[in-house]
């Protein structure tokens, strides 16, 4: 087919390319999901795939995990800074201080040349949460006091050279992670996902011509930028200051603070007044703060707006190095990506709620309720996040037992969990009545109860265990979360702290209760004489 010449100013054709690029990223995700071995990727779909232009700006991201929206570009930037990749090369990186999020999130990057010579025309990126990345505890998510206790940290390195996997590097990676057969298969699935994206881009270039693909990518980012600026221009100028807390493993709380200002020069999200980093895994990195802001802005955009780098061009995100939202070496960060990211979103939405009270809902569960299960001998390792309640909003009640905000994964089916692990699922149900009361109540969380059939090492990390997610506009907070342990033969459960690492013996039972969402609006008064 003869390639068509690129014609600027054709909105219909631009919309077609929006869907072509998005479908390419979705195809990468399908390839990754179908080729992976671990339930965390195959069943829960804890991954993200995206396309980037020659300069490392995001062109399209599949509808995967919002926490990767602003952070993945920084991982690619680290690769571009450290490595000069040639055709047939593929890089990988998981260093949180170089654009990563936490160690289990391993990013694979492949350059794509559509025309010979020069810099790559596009980049394909696949980020996946591996069920283990080494460290002191199976699953690499249990509390640790520094990054070395959390697992293997990889700077940008070449995994593939000239089309051949670097077997020496792969051996080092597998020797430092549990269940190496599964780690190898999941990593190969990421390579296959990038290859699928590269092949699809080449097919599109053959049909439409490489120049048009490059041009349309730039136009799509400009389209999103224009839409974002138009939405922000409708907001009143001024400054809003909000704060929230994180529960610490050592007891007490740390404070996160956001000052949001909006004026002629654009929007500024300033987290600089947040508390200093701590020897606690709730620290996170600047890339996660970027993701929280970009996600919050994306929620304001009209349906059908492309998700790309145009969003980030419209806001300045400021963090203070050495703080909980811009942690540096050797701060532990395992819980930061999953827990602190949610709190950062709560702050962004609280600030936007002050100027958009008719659009922004109450706080959702505010935690991913992270659970890892593994064997002391490294024979199995499993990770899951558990859904909670969504916040009630101006238009209606919150949804029950769903993943919200920075996470967008599925649950692992009971049949798969019991087949893969030596556990029995005694209960998975909606936690009735846990949503906050209001004119529009918050959604309910869930209850998950497991029984160990063999010795199992458990890691547990969650927030909103002391105070539930706040309501809005007079709505009540959702019920706080919790976890408890019942030893075999005991009559009662013993409560667990919000962060814990423990061993289960055969017959022991672990129960997790996730928070409900906050309610929105004051509950209607009961009519005189009405019975409750």
**Does residue 60 lie in a domain region?**
yes
Residue 121 lies in a domain: yes
The pLDDT value given to residue 5: 45
Q: Is residue 299 part of a domain?
A: no
Q: How many CB atoms lie within 10 A of CB 149?
A: 18
Q: How far apart are CA 326 and CA 274, in angstroms?
A: 9
User: Is 293 within the bounds of a domain?
Assistant: no
- Contacting residues for 486 by C-beta, under 8 A, at least 6 apart: 492, 493, 494, 508, 509, 511
Does residue 135 fall inside a structural domain? yes
**Which residue, of 204, 225, 246, is where some domain finishes?**
225
In a domain, 344, yes or no: no
The tally of CA atoms less than 13 A away on the side-chain side of residue 445 is 32
Q: Domain range holding 464?
A: 361-532
pLDDT (0 to 100) of residue 529: 57
* DSSP for residue 444: P
Global model pTM greater than 0.85: yes
Cα–Cα distance for residue pair 108/200, rounded to 1 Å: 17
Determine the Cα–Cα distance for residues 56 and 255; give it in Å rounded to an integer.
33
Q: Does any domain span residue 283?
A: no
> According to the model, what pLDDT value does residue 25 have?
96
Q: How far is residue 44's CA from residue 158's CA, in Å, rounded to a whole number?
A: 28
Euclidean distance between CA atoms 41 and 129, whole angstroms: 7
SS3 185: helix
**What's the CA gap between 78 and 215, in Å, rounded?**
25
Q: How far apart are CA 197 and CA 203, in angstroms?
A: 10
DSSP string, 254-312: EEEEEEEEEETTEEEEE-TTSPBP-SSTT---HHHHHHHHHHHHHHHSPTT---STTTG
Under DSSP, the state recorded for 37 is -
Q: What is the pLDDT of residue 1?
A: 32
The half-sphere exposure of 84 on its side-chain side, counting CA atoms within 13 A, is 2
Question: By the 8 A CB rule, do 288 and 345 touch?
Answer: no
Cα separations (Å) of 355 from 46, 236, 296, 309, 371? Answer: 33, 7, 14, 25, 36
pLDDT of residue 324: 98
Number of compact structural domains in the chain: 2
Domain boundary pick from 170, 190, 225 = 225
pLDDT of residue 531: 44
Torsion, CA 313, CA 315, CA 319, CA 325, rounded to 10: -90
User: Could you tell me if residue 322 is inside a domain?
Assistant: no
pLDDT (tens digit, 0 to 9) for every residue of the chain, 532 residues total?
Answer: 333 445 556 899 999 999 999 999 999 999 999 999 999 999 999 999 999 999 999 999 987 888 886 789 999 999 999 999 999 999 999 999 999 999 999 999 999 999 988 899 999 999 999 999 999 999 999 999 999 999 999 999 999 999 999 999 999 999 999 999 999 999 999 999 999 999 999 999 999 999 999 999 999 999 999 999 999 999 999 999 999 999 998 889 999 999 999 887 789 999 999 999 999 999 999 999 999 999 999 999 999 999 999 999 999 999 999 999 999 999 999 999 999 999 999 999 999 999 999 999 999 999 999 999 999 999 999 999 999 999 999 999 999 999 999 998 999 999 999 999 999 999 999 999 999 999 999 999 999 999 999 999 999 999 999 999 999 999 999 999 999 999 999 999 999 999 999 999 999 999 999 999 999 999 888 666 544 3
What's residue 2's pLDDT?
34
Residues 190 and 43 in one domain: yes
Judged by DSSP in three states, 72 sits in helix
- Starting at the edge strand found earlier in the chain, the sheet holding 456-461 runs 381-385, 370-374, 456-461, 499-504
Domain boundary among 225, 257, 275: 225
């Amino acid at each position: 087919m003869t390639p068509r010449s690129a014609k600027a100013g054709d909105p219909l054709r631009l919309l077609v390319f929006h869907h072509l690029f998005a479908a390419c990223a979705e195809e990468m995700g399908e390839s990754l999901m179908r080729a992976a071995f671990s339930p965390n990727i195959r069943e829960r779909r804890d991954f993200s795939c995206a396309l980037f232009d020659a300069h490392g700006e995001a062109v399209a991201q599949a509808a995967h995990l919002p926490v990767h929206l602003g952070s993945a570009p920084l991982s690619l930037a680290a690769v571009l800074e450290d490595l000069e990749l040639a055709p047939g090369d593929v890089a990988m990186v998981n260093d949180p201080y170089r654009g990563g999020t936490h160690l289990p999130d391993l990013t694979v990057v492949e350059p794509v040349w559509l025309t010979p010579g020069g810099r790559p025309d596009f980049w394909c990126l696949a980020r996946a949460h591996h069920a283990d990345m080494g460290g002191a505890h199976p699953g690499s998510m249990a509390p640790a006091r520094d990054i070395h206790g959390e697992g293997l940290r990889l700077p940008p390195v070449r995994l593939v050279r000239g089309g051949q996997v670097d077997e020496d590097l792969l051996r080092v990676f597998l020797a430092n992670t549990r269940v190496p057969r599964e780690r190898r298969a999941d990593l190969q699935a990421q390579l296959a996902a990038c290859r699928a994206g590269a092949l699809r881009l080449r097919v599109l270039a053959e049909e439409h011509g490489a120049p048009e693909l490059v041009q349309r990518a730039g136009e799509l980012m400009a389209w999103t930028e224009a839409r974002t600026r138009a939405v922000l221009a409708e907001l009143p100028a001024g400054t809003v200051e909000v704060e929230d807390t994180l529960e610490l493993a050592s007891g007490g709380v740390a404070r996160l603070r956001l000052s949001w200002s909006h004026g002629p020069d654009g929007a500024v999200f300033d987290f600089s007044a947040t508390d200093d980093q701590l020897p606690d895994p709730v620290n996170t990195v600047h890339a996660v703060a970027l993701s929280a802001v970009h996600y919050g802005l994306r929620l304001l955009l009209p349906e059908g707006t492309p998700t790309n780098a145009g969003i980030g061009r419209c806001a300045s995100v400021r963090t203070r190095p050495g703080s909980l939202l811009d942690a540096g070496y050797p701060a532990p960060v395992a819980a930061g990506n999953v827990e602190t990211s949610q709190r950062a979103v709560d702050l962004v939405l609280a600030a936007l709620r002050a100027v958009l009270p008719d659009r922004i809902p109450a706080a959702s569960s505010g935690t991913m309720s992270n659970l890892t299960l593994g064997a002391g001998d490294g024979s199995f390792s499993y990770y899951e996040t558990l859904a909670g309640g969504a916040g009630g909003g101006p238009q209606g009640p919150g949804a029950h037992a769903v993943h919200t905000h920075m996470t967008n994964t599925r649950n692992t089916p009971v049949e798969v969990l019991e087949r893969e692990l030596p556990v029995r699922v005694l209960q998975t149900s909606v936690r009735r009545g846990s949503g906050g009361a209001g004119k529009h109540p918050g959604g309910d969380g869930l209850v998950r109860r497991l029984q160990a059939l063999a010795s199992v090492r458990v890691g547990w990390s969650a927030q909103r265990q002391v105070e539930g997610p706040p309501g809005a506009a007079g709505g009540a907070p959702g019920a706080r979360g919790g976890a408890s342990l019942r030893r075999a033969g005991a009559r009662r459960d013993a409560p667990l702290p919000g962060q814990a690492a423990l061993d289960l013996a055969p017959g022991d039972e672990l129960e997790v209760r996730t928070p409900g969402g906050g309610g929105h609006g004051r509950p209607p008064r009961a009519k005189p004489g009405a019975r409750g």
